[in-house]
Chain A
C-alpha cells in the first residue's frame, strides 16, 4: 500500500510536469492548427537556458523559469514570423506544419548539438537530491517542486484562457478564425501571441526538466512521441484533455514501471496512442476537426 501511494504521488508530480510540457503544444495546435514537432526541442532550449544560468551565475532553475520562458518565447516568435505566418492562408497548412516544424526541430537540434555536444547534462540545485518523508512515503523534493510549480503555471494558464478578454479571444479564434475576425479580433496578432505563449510554456517546462531529467539536444526525438501520445489521448487542442491525459498516462506508466518492469513503462504511452487512435481518434476532449 505504501509503495502504491508512493508511486501514485510520484506519478502525479511527474504528470503535472508532462502536462506543462504539452500545454504549449496543445494551445498552439488549438489556435493555429500547427502540429509543432519542434516543441520538445524548444523545451530543451529552455533547459539549456536554465542550465547555463545555474552554472554561470548560480541562479536556481525554478527562479530562472521566467527567463527561460521569455528566451524561448522570443525564439518562437522569430520562428513563427519566419516560416509560419506567410503560409497561414494555405489550405494544407496543418499538414505543412508537420514538415516545417520537423525541419525546424532538426535545425535547432543540429545547432545545439554542434555547440553543446550531445552529452548528458542536468542542473543540480541543492534540493535536486533531497527528499522529504510523509509517514513512510518518500518524496524527492525535485519531483515535488517541479510538480507544484507546473500545476501553478497550468492553473494560471487556465485562468488566463477562461477569464481574460485576450484568453477568450484566443479560444474564440481557435473555434472559428473568421468569426473572431468579424467581432474585431486581430487574428494574426492573437496567433503570434498564442505561439509565443506556447513557446514560453515550453521554456518554462525546460527549466523544470533541466533538474528532474538529464537532457541532451537529441533527446527531444524521444519526447515527441510521448508528448504526442499525451495530447492525442486528451484530444488535440484541449488543455483540460492534455492535463488529464498527462496525469493519467504518467501514473499508469509509473505503476507499470514499479510493479511490472521499468522496461515496459514507456510502452504505456505508445500503447495508449495506438488504442486511442483506433477507439476514439479525436481523443477524450478533442475538438471536432472542421
Chain B
C-alpha cells in the first residue's frame, strides 16, 4: 500500500448500461509513467473518468496516497493532486487565456503561490503570455494545446492522467504534445497515459498496460511490449501497418 495510486478490483459503467471496466486493478508509484493501450471500447477512458471521480465506480476501491478517493467528488480528488485532462480539449473556450490560467490555479488557496505558478507556466509557454487577453477558443489548435498542458505546471499535481492526447491533432502537434508530456514526466509527476497511437505512447512511458473488454490483460515494461513480436501483432498491429 505504499504506492501513490492503488486501484483495487474497480468496476464501472454508465447509467443502467453494462460494466465497461471490470474488476480492474492497477498500482502507480511516484514519478512512474504508465501507458494504457487496448482496442476501442476497452474501457480506457472510462477507467480514467472513474479515477478522476467524474464517474462513480460501481464497486472496488481507489486509494491515493493511502486515502480512499473512490467516493469523493471530482473536485476533491483534483485538489488532492490528481489532474485529469480529458479527450475533449479541457479549456474554457469563451474565457480569455488569462482567465483560463486563473482557473487552472483556482484550487491553489495561496494567491501569491497561484500567481507565481501562473508566471512559471507562462515562462514555459511564452505564446500564452503574448495572448493573455485573447479568447482562448480563438487560438490555434497548437496554442490551445499549450494552454491545456500549462495546467500541469500550474497545479503541479502528483499524478496527471491524459486521455488520447494526440487524438485529432496534426502530426507536428502530436510531436509537440509528446514533448510536453515528457517534460511533465521529467518534472517528477506520475503520468497515466491513454493513447491510441500505441507505439508513440509506449515510447514515452515506463510501463505498458494492456486493457481489453474492461479487464487488465497484462502489464509489462514498455520496452518489452514494444520488442515482443507477438504482442506487437496482437495489440499494436494497426500501428505497425502504418
Contact = CB atoms under 8 A, between A and B. Distances in A.
- Do A and B originate from a single complex? yes
B223 interface: no
Interface string B35-54: 00000000000000000101
A135 interface: no
Contacts of A129: none
Contact of A168 (B75, B90, B99, B107): B99
B95 A184 contact: no
Q: Which among A168, A186, A187 has the highest number of chain B CB atoms within 10 Å?
A: A168
A182 B74 contact: yes
A169 B106 contact: yes
Given A172-B92, A178-B86, A183 B52 contact: no
B79 interface: yes
Nearest to A178: B54
Contacts of A171: 92, 94-95, 99
State the main secondary structure of chain B at its contact with A.
Answer: mixed
Contacts of A186: 73, 75
B78 A183 contact: yes
Interface residues of A, number: 19
A179 B91 CA distance: 7
A176 interface: yes
Interface in B66-120: 73-75, 78-79, 83-86, 90-95, 99, 102-104, 106-107
A181 interface: yes
Given A171-B95, A172-B95, A175-B94, A183 B103 contact: yes
Interface string A183-194: 111111000000
A287 B94 CA distance: 10
Interface in B8-36: none
Interface in A180-229: 180-188
Nearest to B49: A178
Interface in A224-262: none
Interface of A: 165, 168-169, 171-172, 175-176, 178-188, 287
30 contacts: A168-B99, A169-B106, A171-B92, A171-B94, A171-B99, A172-B92, A172-B103, A175-B92, A175-B93, A176-B92, A178-B74, A179-B86, A179-B92, A180-B92, A181-B54, A181-B73, A181-B74, A181-B75, A182-B74, A182-B83, A182-B85, A182-B90, A183-B78, A183-B104, A184-B79, A184-B106, A185-B106, A186-B75, A187-B75, A188-B73
